[in-house]
Amino acid sequence: MLLSAYTLSYGNWTVIPSHWDKVFADMKEIGFDAVDLSFSESEEMYAMRTIEQQIAMAHKHGLKVLIVPSRFAGRFAGAPFMAGGLTVAHPEWNIPGCACSCVDVPEVVEATKNFFKMIVTTFDCDGIIIDEPKCAETPSSHPATIARYGRPGTAEDAGNSMIEYLGEIIRTVKECRPELSVTLFNMPWVSSDFTSRSAALPGIDYAGFDGTLCSHSYFHGETFRSKPPVGELWERAKKETAGKCGTFTLIENMLIPSSENATYEKELNETLPDLRPDHLACYYYGHNNEDAELIQKITVDALKKYIIPIK
């Protein structure tokens, strides 16, 4: 099992290398094998040197580095939460009425391939994580879609185009650096047809979902269960990846209000004994938790009890 620490938008503006040194040392001591660092168009502009230095520091502590290409063309999650620069620079390439670039537009596909190629050829990373492809089955009425299908696209057409788009990205990554691992996880609302087909793409090493272990909240408002439970999605991932690639699970230990601390601890300790993905990730000090230190302790204690001894 590969155990990685999701650590997004970390230290890219206020750059304190001594903090990275302590944090990466702590990750290694806990038992993590890798750190997952986000990389958006903002980092491409302002933090290239910083990312290079972070990768070197992580490697110094024996951690692999998995890059999470974020928000490009509005087609991926990751961090920070912002509009993709390409969607702003070229609104004519966007799906009408949507903040995502249309993947039937050849320039969008080429720009995306170039973005991923730049990442894996510039940095000494060990893999990439494709985080929640967005608008995967959103119908498009873009002229490029009509030219391709002879009519405005359907949800099925959108899924077909997205599968081809992801395939082009993964092929580009593997052609540049065949040794890199590629992890892909989808939103649970996407059809099983799409997620099963994406898991079968050549070059995919791990596929699955991110899931919850309690309700979340953004601030002082009502709580909500943003996604299905981890265990439920783990069962789905096993079925959809069987005979295709390894499995992946991300625990969304973030956005947790104090009122959900006990629920999180209970569900985490009930879930981890049976959770055995080939690649497991969880947030290292997940963002916007009301009791950040407590949630980190609960998470680490459970990992050391159920996961790290059997890795």
- What domains can you pick out in the chain, each with its CATH number? 2-310 (3.20.20.80)
Question: If you average pLDDT over residues 198-204, what whole number do you get?
Answer: 98
> Is the sign of the CA dihedral 137, 86, 112, 129 positive or negative?
negative
Count CA atoms within 13 Å of residue 161 on its CB side.
Answer: 31
Question: If you average pLDDT over residues 58-74, what whole number do you get?
Answer: 97
Burial of 21: CB neighbours in 10 Å, binned 0-12, 13-18, 19+: middle
Distance CA 299, CA 293 (A): 10
More confident residue, 79 or 121: 121
Beta bridge mates, 182: 128
pLDDT of the residue at 102: 98
Does the model's pTM come out above 0.95?
yes
Distance CA 218, CA 221 (A): 7
